[in-house]
Structure 1
Amino acid sequence: MEVYTVTVATGTSEYSGTNNYIYLTLVGEKGESERTLLDNPGLDFCRGAVDKYKVSSSSPLGSLLMVRLEKQKYWVEDNWFCRYVKVEPAGGTHVLTFPCYRWLVGDMKMEIREGTAKTLRDDISPQLLAHRKAELQERQKTYRWVTWAPGIPRCIDAKTESDLPQDVRFDNEKRSDFKHSLHYALLELSLKKLALKFGKSWTDLDDFKRIFWKLRSPVAEYCMDHWKEDWFFGYQCLNGSNPRMITRCTKLPENFPVTPDMVQRSMAPKTNLDVELKAGNIYILDYAIIDGIPSNTIRGKLQYIAAPICLLYQHPDGNLMPIAIQVEQTPGPSNPIFLPTDPPFAWLLAKTWVRHAEFQMFQVLSHLLRTHLVMEVFCVATLRQLPAVHPIYKLLAPHMRYTLEINCRGRTQLISADGIFKKVVSTGGEGLLVLAQREYKTLSYRSLQPFHDFADRGVSQLPNYFYREYSLMLWEAIHSFVSGIVSLYYQSDHDVQEDEELRAWLSDVSQEGFKELPNFGLPQDLSTKEELCTVLSVAIFIGTVQHAATNNGQFDWCAWVPNTPCTMRQPPPEDKDATMELIMATLPDVSQSCVQMAITWHLGRAQPDAVPLGHYAEENFTDDQAVELIDKFRGELKEIEEHIIKNNEGVEPPYLILLPSRMENSITI
């Protein structure tokens, strides 16, 4: 008779415990233990419990391969979340850990493997090979691809979040918080009887201060005080909500007839536009992709969209300054070029049209498409093609937390035909999808790699570009960590090439997820360890750093509505005779402003159950070397955090969005 000490850990979130029957069987290379009832129903397996039991076997089991868990209804159906099982043989010198981190829903049986990460070539046992195959077959039935709309990345086959498997759903606390936070924000504004004033314009710019109450942040208030200033406009091109738009300009576009004389007064002494173009000090924002996008109609009133071109000058004093703006793409008498020397209201209105275009670009393209939707492709492919014991599954699992549910909620509540965007955003409805489809056609794997992105945009030397500096530091830390993990389990390039599960994963990403994008540029076959490290680093970077850069500051930059308006209610100006009355009639109305402030607070605020980058609540890796690499990664992130904090001493406004401690390990909002 062999007796094993078994430790079973129940999840810590609400409703993780169960009062159902739980049975456990140890599966070894020489046989199985007795099927053992572990608890008295209703007494053990409480939320957060770590319970110990004795499990016997009449004959030696040899090396333990798996633990079989079974749940059966006792009185009422009661799901159970198992964190892990640990097994210690009698007189044993070591404890085996079997990570689970899954829900047992209904009467079901589940077999979980010992935690040592193994690629397909590492498994020689027919029983373990059969388990790998069966796990993937079951997952591929559960997680299926679907096309939500043509011309954008494919996604999980789930009409609403309720169609998702329990394993990828929000915990109950997250679900409750998500539901109530937006209601709270809208309630705060409704208490001031503002949100109900549909169609009513603000009287003047100071009126927008009436929605600054409990919903506020230091950067949002700084923005409120400085949004009219040209240096602050330029600062936001580098470190605002859409820091990946600005590009070095070496030659003016033909449809942007700016002459040196027009901007001479904006230049430093003894220089001119032609000289500065050659010197590499001229930059451009060109929103041509928005040109012709269908405009939304909100409560029967047509909204307006423009596709501006904005020229900026890196001044010797260190500030990036806007020097010319054309509000629409086609030049002509009714589309003048606005200059800082124009009447103040005219220049302010032109800058506001650029900032309105920024709202559309960062929300729909930089945020939704290039982080949420791209990351969903990696999530679905990972769930379909990599078993839980695979080292790459273990690496990516923490970076997939909640992403499928938040994306489902986005499709049903935010960007749907009757979602929030349709109610308050100028590109809501058809325009949003057309814009995403245009960008998707040009989306490239290369552009998702930050070092290539900065080089291709010619912005590697721009001063005070904190987003570039910090994101490259974080990229290097992520890539170093990923390289360490990959080298633990792949000794050579040949090992990567021979991993059939890895090849199936990459094929699912490129052939299914990015099915309509044949020129995406992702390698069709991974031939080297370095190629694998880059792909994995891109996925993790998108789900952490890039998402934080576009999501976490949206309340800071959008709460003061005139700075980044969600919609425009009057057509673009055809002359420079702007007045305050025209500006107020163009900006979002009272109700739209309230919703913009509420939704950007709801989406940009720190999440109460956030898991910061580098922290792994679920210990999927049990190998000592892998755990050491995780600890080293955390140490590097701590050093980056200290560097960012030191760099921001005395800086106004501070750029703290990319602090690792404020950055989630996955896209959860």
Structure 2
Amino acid sequence: MILSSAATPQAVNSVIKDEVSAGQSTVSTVRCVPKPARAASGVTVRVKKPLRVIANGPRALAKGASPRYLRSPHRYLQSPHRHLQSPRTPKLFYLSGSPRQISPSQQGLGGTWTVKAIVTVRRKRHSSVQERLTEQIDAASDAAGQKVVLQLVSNSIDPNTGAGRRSNRAPLCDWVEKAGINADKVQYTANFKLSKSFGLPGAITIKNNHQNEIFVESIALQGLPIGTVYFSCHSWVQSRFQDPQEKVFFNNQPYLPSQTPAGLKDLREQNKAAFQGNGKGTRKSLESIYDYDVYNDIGNPDKDANLSRPILGGNEKLPYPRRCRTGRPPTKADSKSESVLEMGQNYYVPRDEVFHENKQETFVSNALKGLVHQLIPSLSKSLQEGHEEFQSFHEIDKLYEEGIKLRNFEGENELLKALNVSQITDKMQDAINKASNVLQYAKPDILSKDRFAWLRDDEFGRQMLAGANPVQIQRLQEFPPKSALDSEVFGNVQSALKKEHLAGRLEGLFIEEAIDQGKLFMLDYHDALLPFVERVNMMAGRKMYASRTILFHTQAGSLIPLAIELSLPGRKRVFTPGNDASSYWLWQLAKAHVSSNDAGFHQLVNHWLRSHAVVEPYVIATKRQLSSMHPLFTFLQPHFRYTLEINASARQLLVNAAGVIENCFTPGPVSLEISSAAYSMWRFDQESLPNDLIKRGMAVEDAREPHGIKLVLKDYPYASDGLLLWDAIKTWVNEYVSLYYKDDKSVQDDVELQAWWEEIRTVGHADKKGEAWWPIMRTPEDVKGVLTTIVWVVSGFHAAVNFGQYAYGGYVPNRPCITRRLIPEEGTEEYLEFVQDPEKFFMSMLPNVEQATSTMSVVDTLSSHSPDEEYLGERAQTNWTNDPAARDAFKRFSRQMDVIERMIADRNRDPFLKNRAGAGVLPYEILCPSSRPGKTSRGVPNSVSI
């Protein structure tokens, strides 16, 4: 601990008390380095260099000791008018900062310490028959001497080897005795004899001589004079029969590369290299190799030529982020495409990235209802015989009141086998049978307060600010809006919107005045979708427009749509709210097409691309280039939890050819091409919340405002709540980074940091590597900006576009995932059909029963929290760092999450905030940091874990 060079003895003693009470170490020595000058007056002790708190031995500061001295028979703080002194040289161990090696001269020669390692191992909750048999074999072989063996590595160099000193090898000594314990976690022990010249244990190696892999959560070393030393592991250790290399874990003291203790330098590099792939070989499920590849596994041309899909990434026309490489063999039909695994086989992700069992159980049991419709085509036969389409709103309502009745059929058992989680799916099958084969859905929040709210124009506008996709709306800055598309390619791209479409509906304002006053807004999908409209509309059962919606912010505080422009190549139509029955229904059809566009673009771009796909390179680069000793690795670890696993599942089930997204959303087979086009416009620097709001015209820079920006709409729930989280994240990042990077040189000299950022920019996002907008990692401020943006994207941004999906998309008419018909034009047979039964026509335009129920089940799953979720302000690993300053900063961050929750609750009770309070209006809770498990429409997890 470094104290001020003008620290009072009271301050020194107070800090030491805090350290002892925090359980970091026992303290009985305070020394000034070097010997300080006498204090001239008062209680100030002036020294030439900072004070350092140094631990020596097991004696703790007595509770209630005087603030001017340590209660110790040999070491004390003298009168405030005298300098601090120490009668003899202590053994050195810094409570924080960089632990130093303990030299023999400081420790004395001869003698040993008996050190106990307490190893916490998490057991599997659901073991297969083979694994249970192997566990019995492990117990027998352990009794015969084939044990799990540990060895300590010192921070200091062994002069005989030139590497870190090594302890004796110590086996876990109580494995056999605890073999029958039925518990999720079991603690085992190993004993070491260390010479007093050994130094501080900085690393520990584990060799697993059993048949089974084991998951080591943590290791605590007890019996050292400095107190307990912690190793935060949370990693699988493979059997030596799978991986002959020892697994290395470092203690929880962070080091920049230049600060690495001499005894650990080689291990640091070796451990980092062990995770780095070289672009070769097929990855195996028990490996932990991280590498990059393009998206060449979305299609399945070997199954059907119609399932061939273009490769995304490495292509100027189809740019894309990189994914985690698996190395599967190529398809027979296309040597550049990677083969697809059958259902029941899992795509490779590094072993430590795989869902823990309770997470997997939650994911599978929730996903079962929806994914079965896609994974086993025969399941569709289980729907009761009848109409494929919904015939009325009442039939949709019955999904929540009565459910869908399924018939027992052979395919159901095949499905359960295919999901490869027998213990879980057996329970699900029992539940379905006990419920008389009824698949029932929970009532979405949009129906909970006012079942007709979704029909209102003000609710349509409100959802653009506080709904499932509140990140797309922009301020209208010119009228009519202009297109950036090439008219020679796409024909007339000039807008059909005219002033007369808005006239008389701007509360007395001219259009120019409304624009200047920030009263007009737009939801614009014209340029994003028009290049794909013709291809989509050629497909059976899919019809799409490229839409523009103009909205007005009223004096009453509501955002209402004034006009909708729907474009086809060469043709445009404009709809406005009607004054008669026919025009009213046409307006509802137009709003449904806009909502469908919004649902598809939200899922493909704002959700999948911006918070899943672009994040994957950050995860891979972190494991490849940052040692687990690096303070930024420690910082980022909770923010990348489960992301690779959920992305791999998405490639296999959701965004793949004929997957859920293609089958159930309007763009169908061109879905990922739309996201590729969006990626061509993606910029890292515009992913920060303030920059994104400014880019969309929803905020302006204002140094007088708390966040440095001023919202154009005060009542914009996503933005106003998001800025609370953004500021808290920014403060936490700033405090943490400042502990380790004191100046520009410390950033520029950090070889791991530089390699990490270089790899993200030039490999993980290789198709964007030449862009000038990438931040350059030269200063501490650069580090802070990058980390704040990354943490915001994986936490607040992802939560905002994910956990409201079922609340709004669970009711099909409110947010149709697919539109199957265009809006009829007068004089056609379709128009006559529409006039005769507008409700039936509306239903025929919406998703059919199978598409609707599949999508409802998927968004149900995506909107749910796992029981083991970690939220902003939480860390499951209690001893994640040995740095008390970092822990204190995190505690402040955690407390701020509680403050934000209370602030959001107050806002939801404010009657003047029309977009989150009022009759029939849903409160905006999605960015409340905490949540209980399940579907709650709130909660901000640390990572993209669903």
Q: Which residue does 2:737 correspond to in 1? A: 486
Q: Is the 8 A contact 1:424 1:592 kept in 2?
A: yes
Q: 1:447 aligns with which of 686, 706, 711?
A: 686
Match of 1:570 among 812, 817, 821: 821
Describe the SS at the equivalent of 2:220: strand
Q: What residue in structure 2 maps to residue 119 of structure 1?
A: 256
Paired position in structure 2 for 1:79: 213
Deviation of residue 299 (structure 1)?
Answer: 14
TM-score by length of 2: 0.66
Residue 316 and residue 330 in structure 1: after superposition, are their counterparts in 2 closer, same or farther (change >3 A)? Answer: farther
Could you tell me how far apart the structure 2 residues matched to 1:193 and 1:441 are?
Answer: 41
Aligned counterpart, 1:206: 394
2:883 is the alignment partner of 1:623 = yes
Correspondence for 1:227 among 443, 446, 454: 454
Distance in 1 (alpha carbons) for counterparts of 2:543 and 2:716 = 31
- Name the CA distance, whole Å, in 2 between partners of 1:448 and 1:480: 18
> CA separation of 1:238/1:231 partners in 2, compared to 1, >3 Å: closer, same or farther?
same
Q: 1:128 — aligned with what?
A: 264
Cα distance in structure 2, aligned partners of 1:504 and 1:406: 26
Alignment of 1:199-598 (within 5 A): 200-213=388-401, 214-222=441-449, 224-252=451-479, 253-254=481-482, 255-268=494-507, 270-288=508-526, 289-293=528-532, 301-328=540-567, 332=571, 335-341=573-579, 343-429=583-669, 431-459=670-698, 460-518=711-769, 520-521=771-772, 523=774, 525-574=776-825, 578=834, 579-598=838-857
**Residues 444, 811 of structure 2: 8 Å contact kept:** no
Return the offset for 1:386.
Answer: 0.3
Are 2:904 and 1:644 aligned? yes
User: Deviation of residue 271 (structure 1)?
Assistant: 2.4
CA distance in 1, matches of 2:385, 2:597: 25
Distance 1:282 1:58, change over 3 A: closer
Q: Given residue 163 of structure 1, which amino acid in structure 2 is its aligned partner?
A: Y
User: How many angstroms does 1:60 deviate by?
Assistant: 3.5
Deviations 1:616-659 (A, max 9, x none): 11243221111111111100111001111121127221000111
2:293 matched to 1:146? Answer: yes
User: Structure 1: which amino acid aligns with 2:754?
Assistant: R
Q: 1:484 to 1:305 in 2, by over 3 A?
A: same
Structure 1 residues 250 and 169, CA, compared in 2 at 3 Å: closer, same or farther?
A: same
- The higher-RCO structure (CA 8 Å, 6+ apart) is 1
- What letter corresponds to residue 394 of structure 1 in structure 2? T
Give yes or no for contact 1:164–1:405 (8 Å, CA) kept in 2.
Answer: yes
CA RMSD after TM alignment: 2.8
Find the aligned partners of 1:5 and 1:581 in 2 and give their Cα distance: 74
| Secondary structure at the counterpart of residue 531 of structure 2 | coil
User: Contact conserved, 1:258 with 1:337, CA < 8 A, in 2?
Assistant: no
The one-letter amino acid of 2:453's match is H
Instruction: Measure the CA separation in 2 of the matches of 1:536 and 1:468.
Output: 20
Q: Which runs of 5 or more residues in structure 1 are unaligned?
A: none
Query: 2:873–2:895: 8 Å Cα contact kept in structure 1?
Result: no
Q: SS of the residue aligned with 1:371?
A: helix
Q: How does 1:593-608 map to 2 (within 5 A)?
A: 593-608=852-867
Deviation by residue 1:410-430 (Cα, 9 ceiling, x = unmatched): 01110111311222222222x
Task: Output one character per residue of 1:364-391: Cα deviation in whole Å (capped at 9) or x when no partner.
Answer: 0000000001111110110110010100
Q: Which residue of structure 1 lines up, in the alignment, with residue 349 of structure 2?
A: 164
Cα 1:187/1:137, change in 2 over 3 Å: closer
CA contact (8 A) 2:729 2:788 kept: yes
Instruction: Please name the residue that 2:942 is paired with.
Output: 665
Structure 1 partner of 2:151: 25
Instruction: Note the C-alpha offset of 1:573.
Output: 4.1
In structure 1, the partner of 2:273 is 137
What is the deviation of 1:223? Answer: 6.9
- The one-letter amino acid paired with 1:306 is Y
Check the 8 A contact 2:897/2:929 in 1, yes or no.
Answer: yes
Percent of aligned pairs with the same residue? 24
Return the letter of the residue paired with 1:49. V
Aligned residue identity for 1:48: K
Secondary structure, in 3 states, of the residue corresponding to 2:608?
Answer: helix
Distance 1:196 1:361, change over 3 A: farther
**1:85 touches 1:99 (CA, 8 Å); kept in 2?**
yes
Residue 236 of structure 2 corresponds to: 103
Give the whole-Å Cα distance in 2 for the aligned partners of 1:582 and 1:169. 46
Distance 1:663 1:467, change over 3 A: same
Alpha-carbon contact 2:123-2:214 (below 8 Å) kept: no
Partners of 2:117 and 2:219 within 8 A in 1: yes
SS of residue in 1 equivalent to 2:218: strand
Change (3 A) 1:196 1:371: farther
- How big is each residue's C-alpha offset from its partner over 1:294-344, in whole Å with a ceiling of 9 and x where there is no partner? 678899833112111110001111100100001116675x62443444621
Q: CA deviation at 1:275?
A: 2.5
CA distance in 1, matches of 2:471, 2:453: 22
Q: CA–CA distance in 2 between the matches of 1:331 and 1:106?
A: 64
- Whole-Å Cα distance in 2 between the matches of residues 250 and 575 of structure 1? 34
Change (3 A) 1:110 1:168: same
SS at match of 2:478: coil
Residue type of the alignment partner of 2:148? I
Question: Which secondary structure state, in structure 1, belongs to the residue aligned with residue 760 of structure 2?
Answer: helix
Deviation at 1:194, TM superposition (A): 8.5
| SS of residue matched to 1:614 | coil
Question: Structure 1 pair 558/242, CA: closer, same or farther in 2 (3 Å)?
Answer: same
Higher mean C-alpha displacement, 144-153 vs 499-508: 144-153
Within 2, Cα distance between the matches of 1:412 and 1:196?
29
Q: Is 1:9 paired with 2:120?
A: yes
Distance 1:316 1:465 in 2: 15
What is the rounded CA distance, in whole Å, between the counterparts of 2:443 and 2:370 in structure 1?
11
Distance 2:736 2:676 in 1: 36
Alpha carbons of structure 1 residues 194 and 458: separation in structure 2 relative to 1, 3 Å: farther
Alpha-carbon distance change, 574 to 197 in structure 1, aligned in 2, over 3 angstroms: farther
The one-letter code sitting in structure 2 at the alignment partner of 1:62 is G
- 8 A Cα contact 1:14 1:172, kept in partner: yes
Indicate how the Cα distance of structure 1 residues 322 and 666 shifts in structure 2: closer, same or farther if over 3 A, else same: same
- How far is 1:528 from its partner? 1.1
SS of 2:546's equivalent? coil
SS of residue matched to 1:285: strand
Instruction: Provide the C-alpha distance between the structure 1 equivalents of 2:793 and 2:778, rounded to a whole number of angstroms.
Output: 23
Q: Distance in 2 between matches of 1:637 and 1:461?
A: 25
Q: 1:608 to 1:89 in 2, by over 3 A?
A: closer
